[in-house]
Amino acid sequence: MENDKYCGDCCWFYAEDTYGFGACPFQFGECVNCGFMCTAPDKFASKEEMRHYMAVLLQANRWRRDDNVPAIYKMPDATDFGKAIDFAYGYMKVFSNL
């Protein structure tokens, strides 16, 4: 049960209506419900993972833009920053093809 991946938990799930039906960019022409099991678990990305990568990119942007950087803002870890860039590129690539 812990490894269950539902469409509503994925950051790729979009255009959800009031009944919980939306679309997945990896299932062309199919309407899916947020309670359905993911049919492409290798492409699944949770919304928490997306929020983490967004926070890493925001932290790097603040560090780069500020001349007087407070001590609380540090450049994120290089591997985490690279993963965040790769995720953002993949996100833009998927949604630009819709």
Pull the structure tokens for residue 86.
């790769």
10-residue mean pLDDT profile of the chain (98 residues): values are 77 87 84 85 87 89 69 79 92 80
Q: According to the model, what pLDDT value does residue 62 have?
A: 77
Pull the structure tokens for residue 71.
């001590």
| 81, 60 contact by CB (below 8 A) | yes
H/E stretch holding 32 reads: strand 31-33
Q: Comparing C-alpha atoms, which of 20, 43, 45 is closest to residue 31?
A: 20
Q: According to the model, what pLDDT value does residue 96 have?
A: 83
Strand partners, 10: 46
Q: Which residue has the tokens 């965040």?
A: 84
Domain annotation for the chain: domains and CATH numbers: 1-44 (2.20.70), 47-98 (no CATH)
Q: According to the model, what pLDDT value does residue 6 have?
A: 86
Q: Comparing C-alpha atoms, which of 89, 23, 86, 11 is closest to residue 51?
A: 11
